[in-house]
Amino acid sequence: MKKISIVIPAFNEEQNIPLIHQKISEVFSALPTYNFEIIFVNDGSRDQTQNVLENLSSQFPEVKYLEFSRNFGHQPAVKAGIDYSNSNAVISMDADLQHPAELIPEMISAWEEGFDIVYTIRKYPKEISRFKRKTSDYFYKFLSKISDVDMTTGGGSDFRLMDASVVDVMRNMQESDLFLRGLSTWMGFKQKGIKFTANERFHGESSYNLNKMMKFAFTGITAFSVKPLYLAAYLGFFFSLLSVVIYIPYVLHAFFAGTEISGWASLIMTVVFFGGLQLVILGIFGIYLGKIFKQVKERPNYIIRSKNF
Ligand code: UDP
Ligand code: MG
């Protein structure tokens, strides 16, 4: 019998865990030809998540868990689940029931047809704010433009099925700044997208705020592209050229009229403008430098405190 692992990162999800377990069990009771296991990754939760997981796993043999030593973030949690899985396919999904478990049979049948990665494309329900909708859409468009992979198709959610061959490749990736949605698009293989409507979060609060989304955006861009670095060179070239062109009439004026040119205000403006521009570019360099720093230390993406496997 083929075995499917469901990987679920959980950060303060004490109320959602029993519910998602039940939903997934229902789905698989209609798929008797498959074995399944659920790998919950407790990402340093501060509520009763760990107790709930220990109880659940003592009652149900298909429930496994990994407990992190602290909060490492959503992406490392998914990666950990992938690393510890041992099955024919892995499905990653959220604990908050926003990813409908009812989609699993469709994902599995696409996989059986021969697709290696079955990703999902999130359609928004009306209740989701326009702001989140738009920022998310523009983010993936922008990301696709600036990096060299098309992310508008695979982006948007970490609800995804991966064949064992894909999981093997992913397990061996040693990136310190994880951006799995981008990685899975970048990897290639035979991919298929399925559309779904995201549900509202069931219990608890979303832990992604604007600040986190911005950070995620920076991670996404800098993990896949060095184009921002080229920006510095282009801007430098452009402004050098511009300054020469603008300078010519003044030189001629000074040469023929022999008078000095006043312009304290414009001088300061220019100095300030270029000062700012240089800082921005230094900042971009800094972001890449920071990534190299992190990568070079080769610290693990996560630390496991306890597990049942
Ligand atoms: N999550 C996690 N670590 C974190 C934040 C979130 O493991 O630091 C999990 C969370 O429990 C959920 C999933 O990642 O299963 C998605 O998080 P959330 O629902 O907060 O994000 P959103 O759906 O708003 O993008
Ligand atoms: Mg959510």
CATH of the domain at 197: 3.90.550.10
**Residues having CB within 6 Å of any atom of ligand 1:** 9-11, 13, 43, 71, 73-74, 77, 94-96, 98, 201, 206-208
Q: Is residue 220 part of a domain?
A: no
Same domain for 82 and 10, yes or no, is yes
Q: Is residue 178 part of a domain?
A: yes
Give the Cα separation of 218 and 268 in Å (integer).
32
What's the structural domain count of the chain? 2
Minimum mean pLDDT range among 122-136, 177-191, 202-216: 202-216
Q: Is residue 252 part of a domain?
A: yes
Instruction: Locate all alpha helices (DSSP H) within 60-196, ordered by sequence.
Output: 74-84, 104-112, 130-146, 164-171, 180-187
Same domain for 115 and 156, yes or no, is yes
**pLDDT at res. 149:** 67
Pairing of strands 89-92, 160-163: antiparallel
**pLDDT at res. 122:** 76
**What confidence tens digit (pLDDT) does each residue in 62-95 have?**
999 999 999 999 999 999 999 999 999 999 999 9
**pLDDT at res. 126:** 67
Give the Cα separation of 87 and 273 in Å (integer).
57
Q: How far is the CA of 20 from the centre of ligand 1 (A)?
A: 14
Pocket test for ligand 1, best of 8, 207, 208 (most atoms within 8 A of CB): 207
Q: Is residue 33 part of a domain?
A: yes
**pLDDT at res. 206:** 66
**What confidence tens digit (pLDDT) does each residue in 9-23 have?**
999 999 999 999 999
Alpha carbons within 13 angstroms on the beta-carbon side of residue 145 total 7
Same domain for 139 and 21, yes or no, is yes
ipTM: 0.95
Please report which confidence band the pLDDT of residue 125 belongs to, taking 50, 70 and 90 as the band edges: low
Q: Which residue has the tokens 């951006």?
A: 179
Same domain for 70 and 111, yes or no, is yes
Q: Is 102 helix (H, G, I), strand (E, B) or coil?
A: helix
**Which atom of ligand 1 lies closest to the CA of 93?**
15
Contact at 8 Å (CB) between 47 and 130? Answer: no
> Could you tell me the residue range of the domain that residue 243 belongs to?
227-297
Q: Is 172 helix (H, G, I), strand (E, B) or coil?
A: coil
Q: How far is the CA of 98 from the centre of ligand 2 (A)?
A: 6
Please report which confidence band the pLDDT of residue 153 belongs to, taking 50, 70 and 90 as the band edges: low
Whether the pLDDT of residue 168 is over 70: the answer is yes
Same domain for 126 and 263, yes or no, is no
Global pTM value: 0.79
